[in-house]
């Protein structure tokens, strides 16, 4: 078994005829999936997604993969292959295309429609290559074959990448639902055929590797959804991912059956469901979906709203409803159905929304109290099944936190994979496939790149630390007028504090300490303003910590009187 090592350095030159695989995201985390393949001097990118921020990253919109390693070789990229249309796989595409807009995007019809709609907002017109299961596309030295896989969004694809160094099979996100709503199952016959040909490296979705058995079928949710529509006395508000076409279809079917009209709420929900309907992936009975203004005129027991915000995102429709910041006012007798999973790290935000909605009198139905969500990822039984039919020479678990990657690797080992042929890598770790053997050979930059409003990469870990400190500790600004000749204060310091709990006389106790520090500086001949400000900073910081066990942001401003 190959493990990344913290002392890994830059990788050596890639041997002739070898294949290099570098995950720039999605290894050790749920999100920002991006894998770069290098062969014969050319690059192929599979997926380019985003990671959503946690509470410890205030002010951040999304987190991108780090493009540093490929930035000076953007002209070598043959294409970006997209496995499906979820944000954690396509959300970073606009930012990579900003750096080279003509990189071809290869994907299924729905996936390309979703990403093209996103690119309109960035004023980028992409070059697209539409593919379907069974297609083969030659992309430079990469011969790509596309395989149908079942996921929580239609038109998902696995990709087999043939090169002179060997074949890689990348599952993308997948599961083996035998009764999918669109009757499009994972093509295990193709997996078996590729296995017979010889898969040299198998990149496998790890998200549910810790979950025993097989993932529940989407169809098994219908009874719970039907129960909500049968028993809800007033309005029904359904919150889901804006790309979860299958789940929205089930809601539309239930609403139609129970005589309710439906309106979509939220820009991304309206856009994506409109695309899915126009392309034939969403079947909408005539007259079922109406404008929100039409819905307002109907009695409550004929109203269904489908909105974004299932992860507690503060600006999404459901959070704004919960906070009484939306035109739709949730009230007594309304039913709110959260039809999505809880992404790790979002639990607190989601439960805040649930509590707020409950406070206004809503009945909130969610995964914790009803069977209203199933995962889109293969559980342990399905993964083992795939290992047994593919029989890969080397395995590299992808798409998951460390516990998921390790659990997935353990499953591969139980099917007979030799320990030395299992590669557990994290973001930035370089894996080279040479003579049929995959080994870790180095590491490249793969840190977090933060999108902060209109800036990309401007926010750093240091600035986030300052934001956390401001939020948790407050700040103190100290304005001091000094006599340039004596270094003494000409009048008492002025303290301006925010978020630091204090009374009017709180800072009286620190003034003598500041005067003592300035006197010492004058005695030692220190007159540089920047040095004096640093001394005041240290003095006040030490006082705040000793007195209040707090570490506020401190900003001294010294003015020459």
Domain boundaries along the sequence of the chain = 19-214+375-451, 219-365, 461-560
DSSP 211: S
**Could you tell me if 74 and 100 are in contact, meaning their C-beta atoms sit under 8 angstroms apart?**
yes
DSSP 145: E
Give the span between the Cα atoms of 82 and 185, in whole angstroms: 19
Give the span between the Cα atoms of 553 and 234, in whole angstroms: 50
DSSP 151: -
Query: What is the pLDDT, as a whole number, of residue 62?
Result: 84
User: Tokens for 308?
Assistant: 């974004």
Q: Are strands 34-39 and 19-25 parallel, antiparallel or unpaired?
A: antiparallel
Phi then psi for residue 480, to 5 deg, are -125, 130
Instruction: Render 439-503 in DSSP notation, one character per residue.
Output: EEEEE-----EEEETTEES---HHHHHHHHHHHHH-EEEEEEEE-TTT--BSS--EEEEESS---
User: Tokens for 104?
Assistant: 């071809």
User: Tokens for 273?
Assistant: 């469901």
Give the span between the Cα atoms of 367 and 280, in whole angstroms: 29
Sheet strands (E) in 122-253: 128-130, 136-139, 142-148, 157-163, 166-170, 201-205, 236-239
Query: What is the pLDDT, as a whole number, of residue 263?
Result: 93
Query: What is the pLDDT, as a whole number, of residue 343?
Result: 65
Query: What is the pLDDT, as a whole number, of residue 5?
Result: 60
Give the span between the Cα atoms of 114 and 276, in whole angstroms: 9
Dihedral sign computed on CA atoms, order 293, 294, 297, 302: negative
Q: Are strands 429-434 and 437-443 parallel, antiparallel or unpaired?
A: antiparallel
User: What is the dotted CATH code of the domain comprising 461-560?
Assistant: 3.10.20.580
Consecutive 10-residue averages of pLDDT for the chain (561 residues): 68 95 94 96 97 76 91 97 95 95 97 95 94 97 98 95 98 94 94 98 96 89 89 92 88 94 90 93 92 88 87 74 87 88 69 89 84 86 97 97 96 96 96 96 91 77 78 85 79 85 80 87 81 89 88 87 65
Beta bridge partners of 79: 44
User: Tokens for 511?
Assistant: 């003034």
Give the span between the Cα atoms of 439 and 284, in whole angstroms: 50
Beta bridge partners of 385: none
Long-range contacts of 56-60 (CB under 8 A, 24+ apart): 56/464, 56/468, 57/450, 57/464, 58/464, 58/467, 58/468, 58/471, 59/452, 59/453, 59/459, 59/464, 59/467, 60/450, 60/451, 60/452, 60/459, 60/464
Give the span between the Cα atoms of 177 and 179, in whole angstroms: 6
**Could you tell me if 454 and 32 are in contact, meaning their C-beta atoms sit under 8 angstroms apart?**
no
Taking the mean position of all CA atoms in its chain, how far away is CA 159? 22
**Identical fold, 19-214+375-451 and 461-560:** no
CA-based nearest residue to 500, from 541, 532, 463, 460: 541
Burial class (CB in 10 A: 0-12, 13-18, 19+), 104: middle
User: What is the dotted CATH code of the domain comprising 19-214+375-451?
Assistant: 3.60.15.10
Query: What is the pLDDT, as a whole number, of residue 312?
Result: 59
Give the span between the Cα atoms of 284 and 263, in whole angstroms: 12
Phi then psi for residue 403, to 5 deg, are -65, -35
**Could you tell me if 397 and 209 are in contact, meaning their C-beta atoms sit under 8 angstroms apart?**
yes
User: What is the dotted CATH code of the domain comprising 219-365?
Assistant: 3.40.50.10710
Helices and strands of the chain, counted as H and E runs: 16, 25
Query: What is the pLDDT, as a whole number, of residue 310?
Result: 66
Residues in CB range of 498: below 8 A, 6 or more apart: 474, 475
User: Tokens for 209?
Assistant: 């590797």
Phi then psi for residue 490, to 5 deg, are -90, -15
Phi then psi for residue 145, to 5 deg, are -115, 135
CA distances from 514 to 182, 536, 550 (A): 72, 6, 18
DSSP 423: B
Phi then psi for residue 331, to 5 deg, are -140, -175
**Could you tell me if 510 and 543 are in contact, meaning their C-beta atoms sit under 8 angstroms apart?**
yes
User: Tokens for 313?
Assistant: 């995102």
């Amino acid at each position: 078994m190959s493990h990344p090592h913290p002392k890994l350095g830059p990788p050596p030159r890639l041997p002739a005829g070898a294949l290099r695989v570098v995950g720039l995201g999605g290894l050790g985390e749920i999100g920002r999936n991006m894998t770069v393949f290098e062969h014969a001097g050319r690059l192929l990118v599979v997926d380019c997604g985003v990671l959503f921020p946690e509470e410890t990253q205030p002010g951040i919109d999304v987190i991108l993969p780090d493009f540093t390693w490929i930035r000076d070789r953007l002209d070598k990229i043959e294409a970006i292959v997209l496995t499906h249309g979820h944000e954690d796989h396509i959300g970073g595409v606009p930012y990579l295309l900003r750096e080279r807009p003509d990189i071809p995007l290869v994907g299924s019809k729905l996936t390309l429609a979703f990403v093209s709609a996103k690119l309109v907002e960035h004023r980028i017109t992409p070059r697209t290559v539409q593919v379907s299961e069974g297609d083969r596309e030659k992309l430079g030295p990469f011969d790509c074959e596309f395989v149908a896989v079942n996921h929580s969004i239609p038109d998902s694809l696995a990709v087999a990448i043939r090169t002179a160094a060997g074949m890689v099979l990348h599952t993308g996100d997948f599961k083996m639902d035998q009764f999918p709503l669109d009757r499009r199952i994972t093509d295990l016959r193709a997996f078996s055929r590729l296995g017979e040909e010889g898969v040299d490296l198998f990149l496998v979705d790890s998200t549910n590797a810790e979950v025993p058995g097989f993932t529940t079928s989407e169809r098994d949710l219908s009874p719970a959804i039907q129960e909500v529509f049968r028993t809800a006395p007033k309005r029904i508000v359904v919150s889901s991912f804006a790309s979860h076409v299958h789940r929205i279809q089930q809601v539309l079917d239930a609403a139609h059956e129970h005589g309710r009209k439906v309106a979509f709420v939220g820009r991304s929900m309206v856009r994506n469901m409109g695309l899915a309907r126009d392309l034939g992936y969403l079947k909408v009975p005539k007259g079922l979906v109406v404008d929100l203004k039409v819905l307002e005129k109907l009695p409550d027991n004929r109203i269904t709203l489908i909105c974004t915000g299932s992860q507690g995102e503060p600006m999404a429709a459901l959070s704004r409803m919960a906070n009484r910041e939306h035109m739709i006012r949730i009230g007594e007798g309304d039913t709110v159905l959260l039809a999505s999973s809880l992404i790790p790290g979002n639990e607190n935000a989601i439960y805040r929304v649930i509590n707020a909605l409950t406070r206004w009198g809503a009945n909130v139905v969610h995964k914790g109290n009803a069977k209203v969500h199933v995962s889109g990822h293969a559980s342990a039984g399905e993964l083992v099944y795939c290992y047994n039919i593919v029989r890969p020479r080397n395995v590299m678990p992808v798409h998951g936190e460390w516990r998921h990657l390790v659990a997935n690797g353990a499953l591969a080992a139980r099917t007979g994979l030799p320990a030395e042929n299992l590669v557990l890598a994290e973001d930035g770790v370089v894996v080279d496939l040479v003579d049929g053997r995959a080994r870790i050979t180095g590491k490249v930059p793969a840190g977090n790149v933060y999108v902060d409003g209109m800036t990309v990469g401007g926010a750093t870990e240091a600035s986030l630390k300052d934001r956390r400190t401001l939020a948790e500790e407050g700040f103190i600004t100290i304005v001091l007028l000094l006599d340039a000749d004596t270094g003494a204060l000409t009048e008492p310091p002025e303290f301006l504090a925010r978020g630091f709990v204090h009374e009017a006389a709180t800072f009286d106790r620190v003034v003598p300490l500041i005067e003592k520090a300035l006197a010492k500086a004058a005695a030692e001949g220190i007159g540089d303003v920047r040095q004096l400000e640093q001394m005041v900073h240290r003095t006040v910081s030490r006082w705040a910590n000793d007195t209040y066990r707090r570490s506020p942001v401190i900003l001294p401003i010294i003015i020459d009187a």
